[in-house]
Structure 1
């Protein structure tokens, strides 16, 4: 380091202040001394950087998935609102017919579910139907 004269404009022009200025060569030497002489720290740094990059990639993917899920929910919400608006415009007779249609679909779905449960029981999909006594 070397001292450099720096004049400060004050009441008298003879007032001077000394400041420290670092030599660029000394800065480079200091950086080299701080670094490790072996390549281990470089390898560790590269591993750390790869880990950070992979974490950032995972976070980006997770953010994209969350945004996609939010878009899907918004689309479902819009469809629900549209359907509610359409139903609100129907006359009472049309609403009664709509209700009868839904009841018919519910009955058919419950019949289909009962058939599938019987089928799974016969195929033993959910395991042995007999319960064993615990000893």
Structure 2
């Protein structure tokens, strides 16, 4: 299955296209496929986007294994570069109070209710050991 990372923001965000020189992150407006995901975000986060990582399908965000007995694989260098680029992209947006929320799910699971919600510092995204939890809302605040 392929990942979908949704970004909800209080303000409009600039769009990013992957290029040969910047292949690690893409940010585009939410399309109809992701419409069910809107209800997972607080009302003040009215601007919704979907982010794609380095893989052609959009995968490449490090994720905790979903099975109890699955062991976490080593995080690939490309995944870490994607996370560094996500950190750089969000840095000018994030303030003392959360202005951005992130939600990782598999494509087609957008209507599944989030299982967790937590607040975290922006700097945690660039930690080389950071992994998303599927179906978790992350409210991002400044370091």
TM-score, with normalisation over the residues of structure 1?
Answer: 0.17
Structure whose residues are more often strand by fraction: 2
TM-score, with normalisation over the residues of structure 2?
Answer: 0.16
Structure whose residues are more often helix by fraction: 1
